[in-house]
Structure 1
Amino acid sequence: MQIVGVTTQHEVFVASKNHKFRMNEMLVIEDDSLYQPKGEVVETFSYNRYIPMGFDKGLADEQVLKTLEQIGYDIGADDIHLAKVRLFEEAVQPIQTGAAVRHPEFSEISSLLVKTSPENGLVLGEVKSTDFIAPSLPESLTGLLHIDDHNGLRKQNGVPFIFDIRAMQQYPHIGVFGGSGSGKSFGLRVMLEEIMKLQIPTLVFDPHFEMNFATEGEVPGTLAYRERYIVVQIGQDVGVDFSALSTRDVERLLSAAGSLTESMINVIQSIHKRKDSYQSFSDRVAHLAEALELGKQKVESLLHDGGMTRDEISRFSLFRKLLEQYGSLPLASVKGIQWRVNRLNQAGLFQQNIRAIEQGIHAGKLVVIQGAVWLLQVFSSYVIGALYGKRRTFRDAKLQQKQGEFFPPFIVVTDEAHNFAPKGFDAPAKSVLKEIAQEGRKYGVFLIFATQRPTLLDETITAQLNSKFVFRTVRGTDIQTIKEETDLTHDEGKRLPYLRSGDVFVSSAIMGRTMAVRIRYAHSASPHTLNPFDELKKMKEQDADQLMKALDSFLPLAEMSLMQQLSSLNKEAEKSWDVQTWKQELERLSSEGIIKKQKTPFATLYTRP
């Protein structure tokens, strides 16, 4: 391998007769005067005499061709492999044309590839095109992972990509971007497994009900995650302690159940009292709505007419008192608040508290919170605000040399992050997430945001994501956003729509450059891995097996006997079918070869095959 063509301080061209260059391959240029500069292949090209295409466009220009001929290449006969190599550091002078090029030893480029040990970082995958370096890897960096590649599962044969999570203190927050089927959710799963390995307290909002780590994958000798995470569902296991909410919290929660008008906000501010329970607040709203419907005049006349029971007198007296206090509030706004409160209560939001989450965070566990997207939006604003407030109070007390109750640092992880912090309009959790994005580093609270649509994510938050994992992305607007927010080159941006599932560009201030990585095989399996068409086939097979088991004692069965046997067949098969449905099912089973259909002069018989 040799340097050819015109060289600059930033880029050089390398040629070889027998080595086919690969994207992101690392090379060392043997130029002692420049301390053997190192670079990475950013574009490749091969020329073969049997396919004579012009060199006027692309990598090989006239200068490169002349150099190739001068150093002994036969343009007409040889297969010539070329690569454009971008230097990691700018050279003080252009590199000598004709200089030899070789693959590096690990010790020569270790500072560019590995920033921490496997014990202290997240082992997320394998740096692409580093198999040439594998023989010189130290033992501590070998055998750490498995990769799902073209030929199935294989052991690590390159340099592991280890994310230095401790460096998030200086370069906080992570963004995980990628379209549907790009491997984004799989990459997020691997990231969470590694966080569990280090026992870092983490809060995960899971709108897809897929972040469950109970099912082990194919990789042998995996860590047991069962004791390192808990899954809670909103309304069943966790909820909001209404009595702990401030008036502003109530506004935020109710706005997530449906947007609030200025008049509705005024109703909340007027009616909500400190330490209100859900019951006392909802009763006050309901009674006020009923009183406003009746009107002050009718309430007064009913009280003066007499003939009412003690309970009725008490009820209408309450109506009069409420009208005196809140009679100026519009009925439509009060009804709007009543509907929103009831909606949240019916979802179970006010029937539990967050004690299970707090205990999980204190125990260093991964706490997965599951629920519908709209409910997660409501709940996240409350729970993130509450936990961040506790962590902040502890840190502030420590800085003031006061005694405070310890609350551990933690990470907040959200999939479909653009739903929690959208660009251009408000959302319940957006304000607290923006605050964490800007100030969380000081308090030890960090964000990992995953989304298919980075363009729809709040720009303040996007700008604070110092490490970005970019999977396959097809939309032009999203690619443009990613290029603006990362150091991806024009050539890397062009590759984004064509990345394989599981391949990712990692643009991180921690690494100091963009790296191409293949995400490792996960130790656990997602509950959504079954192909829906396989699921359909499986269900049909199960139905056929169940029917055959029920039919077994009735075969051979004559079609004319169906009416006579109908109740017995339905009881055995646990169905409530009529004769016509049974005929259709018997026809289906016979067409699939599961049973045999015989036509005789007297009847149609269904028998075992």
Structure 2
Amino acid sequence: MDDKYIGIVRGEATFVSYEFSVNPEEDISFGEFVVTKNRNGETVLGIVRSVKNINWLLSSAKSNFNSLKLDVYEYGDSIVENEEIVATVKILGKVDDGELVPNRVPVKNGEFVYRAPDEMLEEIYKPDRAGIEIGTLLLRPNVKIHLDVEELVSRHFAVLAVTGAGKSNAVAVMVSEIVEKIGGTVLVLDPHGDYVNLSLPKTGEDLVNIIEGKIKVDDLEPEELADLLEVSKNAPIQRDYLAKAWETVKHENKEHGGRKLLEDVEALLREWMSKRIIRYWNPKKESYLTEEIKSERIESIRGLIYRISRFLRNYGEFVTGEDLVAAIRPGMVNVIDLGPLDEEQMRLIVGKLLEKIFTTRVEFEKARKSIRWASGRKVKEYESVMKEVKDKYPALAYPILIIVEEAHIFAPKGEESEASKIMSRIAREGRKFGVGLGIVSQRPSRLNEDVLSQMNTKIILRIVNPRDQDHVLNSSEQLSRDLMEDIAGLGKGEAVIVGQAIKVPALVKIYNFKELGGRYGGEDIGIVDRWREMNSEISGIEDIDF
């Protein structure tokens, strides 16, 4: 430890906090790590939570401006000599063989206070298992910060910040470490195309798999299809005809999928409208039924045809019969580009996608665990389940981390969409089946509380909205009010990290992904540069002599 002490403990000192008078020859900063001794002579690590300058000559409670002015003239330079800098420290724990354990003994008055050595902090923050390197301590650039991957993925995490604070950069750093260093499988749901140009620092685009976000209509229930086509819930007649046409087409045209399936529905509705009679398949009775169309209902069918036609015209290229889950590749960053779709379509796709991933992982893990104790025919059944998953969805034969950007779209507060329900279930049960969840949001107060509260590691960059701050604080057992106060003052790329993936809460400077050699989108448009470019082009056009 450095022999140069930075202060002496004074005043009230407990086992959770103390204050010290700062050595005037030393500079001390908010957030600095310091060590001293408790009454048993044991080393105690703490973090400076406040620094204040006190002048005892000018500290009288009865002083007013005029009396202070007279004091300044009277005492002159001696005022400076009566200044004292006092720092308040929150105790993080007792250092025991490189580990931080609870401190139960008060700090001793009169003890010297020192800066904590970098080596001590490195040892304390080093994970016991495989870790990913995300950045450095904000005030100690030599101390690298690692996150425990097991805890990060299996217990889930959240990345929260205002726009422009560095959320996408933090995600890119974590994803590259998980894939390039650990060899994990990651799926990123990307509503704004922030990662469609992703390139990793070491492997470039070799381990990046971009998947075009499309709607697999084949798997939709009639009510979901009606929502997709924006058929009002207050239009039961249209919804009824759509359901009957949908079930009929799926029964008769099993080889069709995607856009062709919707075109078949449109054609069948036109046929019904022209004949004024519908013949439809009833899956419950497993037979065809016939009914006459009343004249006042013709317009309902006509409106339904219009909605299908409009949807195919506007979104037909994003309709598919292919299975998006089958496109996910193991050991890669898989990015599903949802950018061209509207929010309702995104929610529908994400709900179905996450449901398929989770149920497939559940089936595989149950079979994998059960086969150890099975015998006879059961062994073959479990082997068949596992083989089918490996053949059809090779990435899902292993754990997967799902990162949901703009998570407040898919799991909004006070709403129960299918996407929200399955995200809640993954948050509760995912660790048992190897499905990790990471949520990213700029408006945490709009997030489903159940989902946010189960993100057991939180990487919180700058948040200034008091409502967002309170929401995050209420959902985080390990986030204290004093740490929350730090968050509003953070700079770009700076974060408070708390939770199970890190041993001690920390203020961290997250690595710059591009400086590491990576690339991603998500940057702001250079407004001034674009305007200059515009005016240059306009000027060039005006200069042309016609």
Paired position in structure 2 for 1:251: 223
Matches within 5 A, 1:19-30: 19-30=26-37
Q: AA paired with 2:481? A: H
Q: Deviations over 1:126-164 (max 9, x none)?
A: 11222xxxxxxxxxxxxxxxxxxxxxxxxxx32111111
Residue number among 7, 11, 15 corresponding to 1:9 in the alignment: 15
Q: Deviations over 1:4-29 (max 9, x none)?
A: 11111210002212222222211111
Change (3 A) 1:22 1:254: farther
Q: TM-score, normalised by structure 1?
A: 0.68
In the aligned structure 2, how far is the partner of 1:287 from the partner of 1:349?
22
Q: SS in structure 2 opposite 1:522?
A: coil
Paired position in structure 1 for 2:394: none
Residue number among 357, 362, 365 corresponding to 1:395 in the alignment: 365
Higher relative contact order (CA 8 A, sep 6+): 2
Instruction: Choose 512-521 or 263-272, whichever is displaced more.
Output: 263-272
Residue number among 205, 223, 231 corresponding to 1:226 in the alignment: 205
In the aligned structure 2, how far is the partner of 1:423 from the partner of 1:83?
41
In the aligned structure 2, how far is the partner of 1:449 from the partner of 1:169?
11
Paired position in structure 2 for 1:69: none
Change (3 A) 1:257 1:472: farther
Change (3 A) 1:338 1:195: farther
Aligned: 1:383 with 2:353 = yes
Q: CA deviation at 1:387?
A: 2.5
Equivalent residues of 1:361, 1:410 under 8 A apart: no
Paired position in structure 2 for 1:411: 401
Change (3 A) 1:505 1:229: same
Q: CA deviation at 1:246?
A: 5.6
In the aligned structure 2, how far is the partner of 1:508 from the partner of 1:48?
40
Equivalent residues of 2:424, 2:451 under 8 A apart: yes
Q: SS in structure 2 opposite 1:86?
A: strand
RMSD: 3.5
Residue number among 193, 208, 229 corresponding to 1:209 in the alignment: 193
Paired position in structure 2 for 1:181: 164
Paired position in structure 1 for 2:338: 370
Matches within 5 A, 1:308-319: none
Q: SS in structure 2 opposite 1:80?
A: strand
| Number of residue pairs aligned between Structure 1 and Structure 2 | 469
In the aligned structure 2, how far is the partner of 1:388 from the partner of 1:13?
51
In the aligned structure 1, how far is the partner of 2:333 from the partner of 2:414?
34
Q: SS in structure 2 opposite 1:122?
A: strand
Residue number among 494, 499, 516 corresponding to 2:490 in the alignment: 499
Residue number among 159, 183, 190 corresponding to 2:143 in the alignment: 159
Long gaps (5+) in structure 1: 57-73, 131-156, 217-221, 301-320, 552-561, 567-609
Q: SS in structure 2 opposite 1:473?
A: coil
Q: AA paired with 1:423? A: K
Paired position in structure 2 for 1:140: none
Aligned: 1:36 with 2:60 = no
Paired position in structure 2 for 1:99: 111
Paired position in structure 1 for 2:73: none
Paired position in structure 2 for 1:308: none
Q: SS in structure 1 opposite 2:151?
A: helix
Equivalent residues of 1:177, 1:450 under 8 A apart: yes
Equivalent residues of 2:35, 2:116 under 8 A apart: yes
In the aligned structure 1, how far is the partner of 2:229 from the partner of 2:164?
31
Aligned: 1:510 with 2:504 = no
Change (3 A) 1:21 1:363: closer
Q: CA deviation at 1:382?
A: 2.4
Equivalent residues of 1:213, 1:225 under 8 A apart: no
Q: Deviations over 1:408-458 (max 9, x none)?
A: 221111211110111112334222222211111111111111111111111
Paired position in structure 2 for 1:587: none
Q: AA paired with 2:335? A: V
| Bigger radius of gyration among the two | 1
Equivalent residues of 2:209, 2:329 under 8 A apart: no
Q: TM-score, normalised by structure 2?
A: 0.76
Change (3 A) 1:290 1:498: farther
Q: Deviations over 1:101-143 (max 9, x none)?
A: 11233454445322157xx42211111222xxxxxxxxxxxxx
Equivalent residues of 1:199, 1:228 under 8 A apart: no
Residue number among 83, 88, 96 corresponding to 1:84 in the alignment: 88
Change (3 A) 1:284 1:539: closer
Instruction: Choose 462-471 or 159-168, whichever is displaced more.
Output: 159-168
Q: Deviations over 1:161-213 (max 9, x none)?
A: 1111122465x111111112222222222222223323321211212212144
Matches within 5 A, 1:272-291: 272-273=246-247, 276=254, 277-278=256-257, 279-280=260-261, 282-284=263-265, 286-288=267-269, 291=272
Long gaps (5+) in structure 2: 1-6, 63-77, 94-101, 280-286, 372-381, 391-396
Q: Larger % of strand: which?
A: 2
Paired position in structure 2 for 1:307: none
Equivalent residues of 1:203, 1:412 under 8 A apart: yes
Q: SS in structure 2 opposite 1:425?
A: coil
Change (3 A) 1:419 1:246: closer
Instruction: Choose 201-210 or 363-372, whichever is displaced more.
Output: 363-372
Residue number among 336, 349, 354 corresponding to 2:323 in the alignment: 354
Q: AA paired with 1:283? A: D
In the aligned structure 2, how far is the partner of 1:162 from the partner of 1:542?
49
Aligned: 1:466 with 2:456 = yes
In the aligned structure 2, how far is the partner of 1:332 from the partner of 1:13?
78
In the aligned structure 1, how far is the partner of 2:303 from the partner of 2:434?
39
Q: CA deviation at 1:291?
A: 3.2
Change (3 A) 1:85 1:234: same
In the aligned structure 2, how far is the partner of 1:46 from the partner of 1:6?
18
In the aligned structure 1, how far is the partner of 2:60 from the partner of 2:510?
38
* Percent identity between the two aligned chains: 18
Q: SS in structure 1 opposite 2:178?
A: helix
Instruction: Choose 279-288 or 401-410, whichever is displaced more.
Output: 279-288
Q: AA paired with 1:159? A: V
Matches within 5 A, 1:404-443: 404-405=386-387, 406=390, 407-443=397-433
Residue number among 436, 441, 453 corresponding to 1:451 in the alignment: 441
In the aligned structure 2, how far is the partner of 1:203 from the partner of 1:396?
22
